[in-house]
């Protein structure tokens, strides 16, 4: 197993090295410079500890309103329970560098976990149940770059890995899929106050047998990729994520988010989010929805 892993890392590192002939950090002479370089390359942004880094946005929405939610209750709620149109919603997401600069290749190995939950917080008549939770562990190899620039744009990283997402439910409410994911990210800084980041992600679903597949048409709605744009100007940040953009059908999904630090606490962000189209959650991936949410966050994309 160790030999196989080493061979895979060498192959991935070799492909990524088409863009850089050697690990940029290892070209430095002083140990302290090498250490600082690796910290920068890993994009260290501690979340709860130095080893846990914010991955996707981390937020808690006090109000998430969808005018169609009660009407669609049978899709997500058991035993004939009628969902409230307004609920709570939260997401926590972190990543951890399991190993960096594997075998001197400049390739890092990452693990991440994201959980998004939809909580019928105000539905007290039914004991405020969780309507849906999506669990998303993933692991990937990543090659980061420090000095690849073209007309002001910098290539940040290229990565390749595996992603699992499911809702942990059974029977008619079960939703899950596995996919291989390839991504690339670039960004541009016009000044210390203005930054635009763009990430392109494409994936291929790992097929299951028809007997085991709870949602064989899922990729018709979740697509085969997404584009994420994040723009930060001073203390304002706006992000736009679009799924299924190039499929040629009308099953797109979009998330438009805005954040700004609260006046009394710079570490907490006021957060507004609009999601539209398909795929906000796994349970209703094939239903078109428009949802507006307001809450707080401790991490956006940038």
Whether 300 is a known active-site residue: answer no
Set 96, 164, 224, 260: catalytic member: 164
Tell me: pLDDT of 257 over 80.
yes
Cβ-contact 117, 131 below 8 angstroms: no
Question: What would the mean pLDDT of 129-133 be, rounded to a whole number?
Answer: 96
End-to-end CA distance of the chain: 37
103 compared with 131, residue with greater pLDDT? 131
133 is catalytic: no
pLDDT value, residue 42: 61
pLDDT at 86 over 90: yes
Q: Per residue in 172-208, pLDDT tens?
A: 899 999 999 999 999 999 877 899 999 999 999 998 8
The model's confidence at residue 27, banded by pLDDT at 50, 70 and 90, is: low
**3-state SS track over 226-245:** EEEEEEEECCEEEEEEEECC
Give the pair of three-digit tokens for residue 213. Answer: 């597949």
Catalytic residue among 166, 187, 224, 247: 166
pTM listed for this prediction? 0.85
Architecture field, domain 2-299: Beta Barrel (2.40)
Distance of alpha carbon 91 from alpha carbon 115, whole angstroms: 6
Name the residue ranges covered by the structural domains of the chain: 2-299
């Amino acid at each position: 197993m160790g030999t196989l892993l080493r061979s895979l890392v060498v192959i991935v590192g070799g492909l990524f090295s088409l863009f850089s002939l050697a690990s940029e950090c290892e070209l430095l002479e002083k140990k302290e410079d090498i250490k600082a370089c690796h910290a920068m390359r890993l994009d260290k942004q501690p979340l709860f500890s130095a080893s846990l880094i914010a991955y996707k946005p981390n937020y808690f929405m006090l109000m998430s309103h969808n005018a169609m939610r009660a009407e669609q209750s049978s899709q997500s709620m058991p035993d004939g329970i009628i969902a409230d149109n307004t609920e709570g919603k939260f997401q926590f997401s972190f990543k951890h560098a399991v190993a960096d600069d594997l075998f001197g290749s400049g390739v890092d190995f990452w693990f991440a976990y994201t959980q998004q939950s939809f909580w019928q917080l105000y539905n007290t008549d039914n004991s405020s149940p969780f309507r849906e939770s999506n669990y998303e562990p993933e692991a990937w190899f990543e090659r980061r770059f420090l000095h690849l620039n073209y007309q002001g744009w910098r290539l940040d990283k290229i990565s390749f890995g595996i992603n699992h997402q499911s809702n942990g439910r059974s029977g008619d409410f079960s939703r899950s899929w596995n996919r291989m994911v390839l991504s690339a990210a670039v960004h541009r800084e016009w000044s210390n106050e203005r930054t635009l980041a763009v990430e392109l992600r494409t994936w291929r679903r790992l097929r299951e047998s028809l007997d085991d597949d709870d949602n064989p048409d899922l990729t018709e709605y979740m697509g085969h990729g997404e584009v994420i744009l994040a723009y930060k100007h001073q203390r304002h940040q706006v992000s736009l994520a679009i799924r299924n953009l190039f499929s040629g059908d009308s099953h797109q999904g979009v998330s438009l988010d805005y954040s700004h630090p609260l006046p009394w606490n710079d570490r907490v962000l006021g957060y507004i989010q609009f999601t539209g189209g398909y795929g906000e959650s796994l349970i209703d991936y094939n239903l078109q929805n428009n949802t507006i949410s307001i809450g707080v966050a401790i991490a956006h994309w940038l």
